[in-house]
Every structure is written in C-alpha cells, then in structure tokens.
Structure 1
Amino acid sequence: MDSSGMLLALLFVGLLSVLCDGQASQEVSSEDFAVEKPEPAADRDMVEALEALLGQMHNRISSTEKRASIPMCGMGDRCAMKFGPRIGKLCDCSRGAYCNSYLLKCI
C-alpha cells in the first residue's frame, strides 16, 4: 500500500472516530436522579446543633479579638516597655519590621 492509501485510511478512521464520539446511549433512568430526602425532624436537629456550635465559636472568637487589640507602630517607634525582667508590648510593628528586644524599637 502506498503512502496516499495509508493517508486516506487514516483520514477515514479519524472521521469515523469524530462522528461516533457523541453516539453514547442517551437513556436516563429515574435511578440516576433519585435523591433521598432526609426526615424534617433530623434536619431541624442538625440545624439546632449547628446554630449552637456557631454561637459558641462566635463567643470564643470575639473574646480573643478583644484581647488582641494592640495598636500598630511606625518604624523607629518604641514598641516595648521593660518591666524589670519582663518586656511588655506597647504596640505591634508594621509589616516588614520587628520589635528589637535590645533597643525596644521597631526596626
């Protein structure tokens, strides 16, 4: 077989594969779309449990936000105060800076 015959056969096979690609069965049964609906009482119990959990999480998050309200300092500002052997924070250094524990300033 020469190269033109082989080329023609390859084109024919390619054309058949393209045409037959979408020929799958289109029959759809009701089992494919069957969705089991849970009981309404179970839904209510689940919603109540989720609301209680979200309420507890909201209380926990809001209490940590109150504690973490440290103002931001600029570069070169004092960011810490030395209380004897301890160091307490006055403010938090801005992005890209850190509080130097020796100078007690944002660097």
Structure 2
Amino acid sequence: MESLRAVVYLSVFLSLMTSVCQGERSSENQLQSVSDEPVFGLATNELAEALQGLLNEADARVGLSVEKKASVIPRCDVGERCAMKHGPRIGRLCDCLRGTACNTFFLRCY
C-alpha cells in the first residue's frame, strides 16, 4: 500500500515539475518536437511505459487485499437477513448496523 502511495506521489511530483518547467520556457527557446525531448535521461514514451508498468503492478497487489477476509463480517441494513439457521445452531451472515440487533426468531435486523 505504501509503494502505491509512493508511486502516486512520484507521478504527481513529476507532472507538476513538467508543467512548471514548460511554463518557464520562453517561446524562442522551445523545441519543435516536445515528445522526443529527454526528461531525466529518458524519453517521455519510456517514462509513460514505466509508470504504466508500476501502476499495473500496484493494481495487481491491491486487488488481492480487497478480497473478502474470513475475519471481516459485512454490515446488514435494517430488515435484511442477518443469520441463518442450521438445525439447532444459528450462523451469522452479517453484522447489524449500530442501534439495531439481529432478531433470533425472524433472523433479521430490527
């Protein structure tokens, strides 16, 4: 998560620095083709490809942490089923919102 945050901060910093540097140039000193100009020793196409690779890698890592975990119980709205009966036992489906409770007879949040 921290590496994703670092990538986002780096991309914002680079875009701000590029816009500031572009604004300070005079019209006489500007080159005709800006896309071929190296920035920090790399062409903008190479920078874009590197940034896209980092973002794809970060998305792949973040996708795994968003999946449902066994210890986290989702929240139920009022009137939704919060439990299921398995013979003599009652299994919880979700946790009721604050101020409500799971009714063990109707198995719904009230």
Structure-1-length-normalised TM-score: 0.38
Structure-2-length-normalised TM-score: 0.37
